C-alpha cells in the first residue's frame, strides 16, 4: 500500500526539518496500516501527497489515551500544524512521538530517534491486536465492534451476567447520524466505554469510502480535539450503518438513532423489570429519578429527557415510556443532542405496537384502568382536593369520555379500544401539536368539572338518604326518644350489646366466693325481669347457665321484643324513606306505648346499675382480702424456705 515508508519519511522529512526517522520493520508496517486507515481512499494512490483525514487522525491520537496537551504538542512537533495537514511524514512522526510519550519520554524530536516500542492505542475489549492485523481481520473487528463494550454498567447497575446484552444494545445509536464524535470529549466515561468508542474509531478508519467530508475540517490538530461538526460524520456514519445493516436485526433500518433495536429493547425491558416486576405497571417518578440519576447526566438534561418521554405527564413511566427515556439517555451518553420533541419512533404507542403482545393483553386493561384512575386520581385529586373513593369510577368514566370525545373530534380511526392510555397515545401520535391541548382537555375537565363531579357525587346520594329524624317524638322532649330509638334500631341491626341489662351475671370462672354471690344475684336478677313479660323470666333462667354475654343479650331481647314490633314499623319507614305522613299516626300510638316501655326499662336499668355497683364493691373487697392472704402466704413461704447456699 505504501512505498518504503522509510523512504517516504525521508523524502517528506524535508518538510519537517530534514528528519530521517529510522523505522523498524514492524513499525513500518504498523504505521503504514495506520496511515492507510486514516487516509482518504481517493488519495491512497499518491502517498506523498496524501494527507490523513484530520478527524480520523484525531480519533487515533485520542485512542492513544494521551492527554490532549501532549497530543497538541505532538502535532506541533511533527509539523502537521505547520504544514496544515497530516502527510505521511507528519503522521509517522506523530506516531513515533506518541510511542515516545507513552513510554514516558518527552515530546521532542530527539526522543523519537531512539528505539521505541510501538505506540499503543486504545484497544477493543479482547481483540486489541486485531486492530493492527491484516485487513482481513478487520472485518472480524467490524463484526465484533457492534457488540463491543459499552459500559453502561459502569454507571448503571452492574449485571455481569448481562454484559453481552448490554454491549450490543447501545451500539446502534452510535452508528447513526449526528455528532457522535462529540462523544469523544466525554472522557468522564469509563475505560471500557472509551475502548468501545475507539473500537468504533477503528471501524471508522476502516470504512474507506467516507473521508472526503473530513477535509472540511480545519487544521487537523486543533479541529480534531474540539467538537466536530455533525455533517462531517454523517457520511461516515452512513457508511457505518451500511456496514452494520447486515449485522443488525432487520428492525434497524434507516439511520435512525432514535429507533430501538431488539437487543436494546430487551435490555431496557430487563432494566424495567428490575425496577418494577410487573411489566404492565408503572415506574413511579422517584424510582425513575434515582435510576436515571445514576447515569450521571446533568439534572437539566434528565429533566428534559423526562419531559420528552413522559407523554401523558403523569409522573410515572410505563414500559414504553421507560424504554424511550432509557434510549434517550443512552443517546445522550453517546453524544447525541437531545431532540426538542420526541421522535416518532420513541412514541409510546409506536413502541407498544412494536413490542407487541404483552401490552395488548386485555388483562392489561384492568391494571391500566386501575392504575390509570389511580394515577389520574393522584393527579387530578391533588388539584381538586377530592379523595372520596366514589369518584374513582366516576373519574375514569369521565376521562374515558374525554378521550372518546377527543377521538371523535380528531376523527382518527383507533382500532384498539379498551385501553384508555392508548387513546391518549394514539391521539398524541396523530396530532402531535394538539397533544397538549388534548391532555389539557381531560385535565381541564377535572378543573372545571368540579361541579360535574359534585353533581355526580350528589347524584349517588339519593339511593341511600340519611335516616329521617322521627318527627313523632317532638313532644317527648324530656326523653331523648330519638336517641334511644336510634340505639335500639342500631342494636337490632348490628346486634350490639344493648345498654346494660338489669343484672349482669357474674363470671362463672371466678372463685367460689363469687359463685356464692352469683346465687345471691339470682333473686336480684329475677326481680327486674318480673316486671316484664312472663317469657323473659323463663328465658333468663334457661339462659343463666350459658356464658354471661349471651344471656345479657337474650335477656334484653325479650324486653325489646315488646319494643321491637312497634319499633320495626317506624324504623322501616325511616330507612325506606317513605313519606312520613302515613306512618305518622300509627307511630304516634306506638310511641306512647314505647314511652311507657322505655320508662320501665330505664327503671330496670337503674336498679341493675345499683345492684352491679354493690356487687362490684363487694368483689373488690374480696379481691383485696385475697391479695393480702396471698402476700402473707408468700412471706411465710420465703421464711420457711431453707436458706440458700452461700
Partner 1 sequence: MAVCIAVIAKENYPLYIRSIPTENELKFHYTVHTSLDVVDEKISAMGKALVDQRELYLGLLYPTEDYKVYGYVTNSKVKFVMVVDSSNTALRDNEIRSMFRKLHNSYTDIMCNPFYNPGDRIHSRAFDNMVTSMMMQVC
**CB-facing half-sphere around the CA of 484: CA atoms within 13 A:** 20
Q: Which of 81, 238, 304, 468 binds partner 1 (CB under 8 A)?
A: 304
Site pattern 390..429 for partner 1 (x: CB under 8 A): ----------------------------------------
Does the footprint of partner 1 cover residue 458 (CB under 8 A)?
Answer: no
Does the footprint of partner 1 cover residue 432 (CB under 8 A)?
Answer: no
Does the footprint of partner 1 cover residue 439 (CB under 8 A)?
Answer: yes
- Please state the closest distance from residue 316 (CB atom) to partner 1, in A: 9
Q: Using DSSP bridges, classify how beta strands 283-284 and 316-317 pair: parallel, antiparallel or unpaired.
A: antiparallel
Residue with cell 496500516: 33
Does the footprint of partner 1 cover residue 479 (CB under 8 A)?
Answer: no
Q: How far is CA 74 from CA 29, 119, 121, 270, 539, in A?
A: 21, 13, 15, 46, 112
Name which of 149 and 371 has its Cβ closer to partner 1.
371
Site pattern 606..645 for partner 1 (x: CB under 8 A): ----------------------------------------
Does the footprint of partner 1 cover residue 450 (CB under 8 A)?
Answer: yes
- Let me know: does 329 contact 305? Beta carbons within 8 Å: yes
Does the footprint of partner 1 cover residue 372 (CB under 8 A)?
Answer: no
Does the footprint of partner 1 cover residue 561 (CB under 8 A)?
Answer: no
Which one of 420-428, 444-452, 539-547, 561-569 is the stretch in contact with partner 1 (CB under 8 A)? 444-452
- Let me know: does 394 contact 457? Beta carbons within 8 Å: yes
Name all contacts of 561-565 with Cβ < 8 Å and 24+ positions apart: 562/532, 562/533, 562/597, 563/488, 563/594, 563/597, 563/598, 563/601, 564/488, 564/492
Does the footprint of partner 1 cover residue 253 (CB under 8 A)?
Answer: no
Nearest to 542 by CA among 558, 561, 564, 531: 558
Name which of 448 and 512 has its Cβ closer to partner 1.
448
Q: Is residue 45 classed exposed, middle or buried when 0-12, 13-18 and 19+ CB atoms within 10 A define those classes?
A: exposed
Does the footprint of partner 1 cover residue 337 (CB under 8 A)?
Answer: no
Which one of 111-119, 280-288, 326-334, 497-505 is the stretch in contact with partner 1 (CB under 8 A)? 280-288
Q: How many whole angstroms separate alpha carbon 54 and alpha carbon 40?
A: 10
DSSP 237-297: HHHHHHHHTTTS-TT--SS-TT---HHHHHHHHHHHHHH-S-TTSPEEHHHHHHHHHTTT-
Name which of 118 and 302 has its Cβ closer to partner 1.
302
Q: To the nearest 5 percent, what fractions of the chain are helix, strand and coil?
A: 70, 0, 30
- Please state the closest distance from residue 326 (CB atom) to partner 1, in A: 15
Gyration radius from the chain CA atoms: 45
Q: Which of 143, 191, 253, 447 binds partner 1 (CB under 8 A)?
A: 447
Q: Which of 255, 310, 321, 514 binds partner 1 (CB under 8 A)?
A: 310
| Secondary element (H or E) of residue 129 | helix 128-131
Does the footprint of partner 1 cover residue 314 (CB under 8 A)?
Answer: yes
Name which of 138 and 402 has its Cβ closer to partner 1.
402
Q: How many whole angstroms separate alpha carbon 508 and alpha carbon 353?
A: 73
Q: How many whole angstroms separate alpha carbon 281 and alpha carbon 378?
A: 16
Q: Indicate the DSSP class of residue 390.
A: T
Does the footprint of partner 1 cover residue 443 (CB under 8 A)?
Answer: yes
Name which of 14 and 382 has its Cβ closer to partner 1.
382
Does the footprint of partner 1 cover residue 286 (CB under 8 A)?
Answer: yes
- Please state the closest distance from residue 166 (CB atom) to partner 1, in A: 24
Does the footprint of partner 1 cover residue 315 (CB under 8 A)?
Answer: yes
The residues binding partner 1 (CB under 8 A) are: 285-286, 288-289, 299-300, 302-304, 306-307, 310, 313-315, 340, 379, 383, 385, 436, 439-440, 443-444, 447-448, 450-451
Amino acid at each position: 500500500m505504501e512505498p518504503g515508508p522509510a523512504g517516504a519519511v525521508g523524502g517528506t522529512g524535508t518538510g519537517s526539518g530534514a528528519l530521517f526517522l529510522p523505522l523498524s520493520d514492524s513499525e513500518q508496517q504498523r504505521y503504514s496500516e495506520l496511515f492507510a486507515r486514516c487516509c482518504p481512499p481517493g488519495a491512497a494512490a499518491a502517498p506523498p501527497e496524501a494527507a490523513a483525514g484530520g478527524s480520523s487522525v484525531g480519533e487515533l491520537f485520542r485512542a492513544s489515551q494521551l492527554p490532549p496537551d501532549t497530543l497538541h504538542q505532538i502535532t506541533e512537533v511533527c509539523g502537521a500544524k505547520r504544514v496544515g495537514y497530516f502527510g505521511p511524514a507528519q503522521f509517522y512522526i506523530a506516531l513515533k512521538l506518541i510511542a515516545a510519550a507513552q513510554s514516558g519520554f518527552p515530546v521532542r524530536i530527539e526522543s523519537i530517534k531512539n528505539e521505541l516500542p510501538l505506540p499503543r492505542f486504545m484497544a477493543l475489549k479482547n481483540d486489541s491486536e486485531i486492530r493492527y492485523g491484516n485487513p482481513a481481520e478487520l472485518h472480524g473487528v467490524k463484526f465484533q465492534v457492534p457488540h463491543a463494550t459499552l459500559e453502561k454498567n459502569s454507571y448503571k447497575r452492574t449485571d455481569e451476567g448481562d454484559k453481552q446484552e448490554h454491549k450490543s444494545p447501545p451500539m446502534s445509536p452510535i452508528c447513526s447520524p449526528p455528532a457522535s464524535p462529540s462523544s469523544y470529549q466525554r472522557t468522564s466515561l469509563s475505560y471500557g466505554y472509551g475502548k468501545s468508542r475507539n473500537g468504533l474509531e477503528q471501524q471508522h478508519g476502516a470504512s474507506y469510502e467516507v473521508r472526503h467530508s473530513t477535509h472540511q475540517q480545519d487544521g487537523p490538530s486543533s479541529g480534531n480535539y474540539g467538537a466536530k461538526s455533525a455533517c462531517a460524520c454523517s457520511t461516515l456514519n452512513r457508511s457505518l450503518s451500511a456496514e452494520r445493516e447486515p449485522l443488525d436485526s432487520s428492525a434497524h433500518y434507516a439511520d435512525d438513532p432514535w429507533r430501538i433495536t431488539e437487543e436494546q429493547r430487551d435490555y431496557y425491558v430487563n432494566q424495567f423489570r428490575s425496577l418494577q416486576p410487573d411489566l404492565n405497571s408503572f415506574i413511579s417518578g422517584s424510582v425513575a429519578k434515582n435510576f436515571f440519576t445514576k447515569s450521571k447526566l446533568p439534572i437539566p438534561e434528565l429533566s428534559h429527557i423526562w419531559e420528552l418521554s413522559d407523554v401523558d405527564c403523569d409522573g410515572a413511566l410505563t414500559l414504553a415510556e421507560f424504554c424511550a427515556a432509557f434510549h434517550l439517555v443512552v443517546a445522550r451518553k453517546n453524544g447525541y443532542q437531545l431532540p426538542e420533541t420526541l421522535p416518532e419512533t420513541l412514541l409510546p404507542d409506536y413502541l407498544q405496537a412494536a413490542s407487541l403482545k404483552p401490552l395488548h393483553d386485555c388483562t392489561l386493561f384492568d391494571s391500566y384502568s386501575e392504575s390509570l384512575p389511580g394515577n389520574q386520581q393522584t393527579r387530578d385529586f391533588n388539584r381538586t382536593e377530592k379523595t372520596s373513593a366514589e369518584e374513582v369510577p366516576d373519574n375514569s368514566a369521565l376521562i374515558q369520555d374525554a378521550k372518546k370525545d377527543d377521538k371523535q373530534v380528531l376523527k382518527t380511526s383507533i382500532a384498539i379500544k379498551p385501553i384508555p392510555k392508548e387513546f391518549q397515545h394514539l391521539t398524541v401520535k396523530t396530532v402531535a401539536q394538539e397533544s397538549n391541548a388534548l391532555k389539557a382537555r381531560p385535565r381541564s375537565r377535572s378543573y372545571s368539572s368540579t361541579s360535574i363531579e359534585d353533581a355526580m357525587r350528589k347524584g349517588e346520594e339519593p339511593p341511600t338518604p340519611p335516616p329521617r329524624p322521627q318527627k313523632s317524638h317532638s313532644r317527648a322532649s324530656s326523653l331523648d326518644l330519638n336517641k334511644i330509638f336510634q340505639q335500639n334500631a342500631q342494636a337490632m341491626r348490628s346486634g350490639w350489646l344493648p345498654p346494660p341489662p338489669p343484672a349482669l351475671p357474674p363470671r362463672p370462672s371466678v372463685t367460689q366466693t363469687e359463685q356464692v354471690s352469683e346465687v345471691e344475684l339470682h333473686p336480684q336478677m329475677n326481680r327486674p325481669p318480673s316486671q316484664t313479660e312472663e317469657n323473659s323470666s323463663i328465658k333468663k333462667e334457661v339462659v343463666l347457665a350459658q356464658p354471661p354475654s349471651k344471656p345479657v343479650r337474650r335477656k334484653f331481647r325479650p324486653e325489646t321484643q315488646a319494643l321491637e314490633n312497634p319499633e320495626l314499623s317506624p324504623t322501616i319507614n325511616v330507612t325506606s324513606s317513605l313519606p312520613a305522613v302515613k306512618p305518622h299516626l300509627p307511630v304516634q300510638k306506638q310511641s306512647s306505648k314505647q314511652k311507657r316501655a322505655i320508662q320501665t326499662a330505664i327503671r330496670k336499668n337503674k336498679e341493675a346499675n345499683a345492684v352491679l355497683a354493690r356487687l362490684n364493691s363487694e368483689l373488690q373487697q374480696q379481691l383485696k382480702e385475697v391479695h393480702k392472704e396471698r402476700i402473707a402466704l408468700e412471706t411465710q413461704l420465703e421464711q420457711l424456705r431453707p436458706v440458700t447456699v452461700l
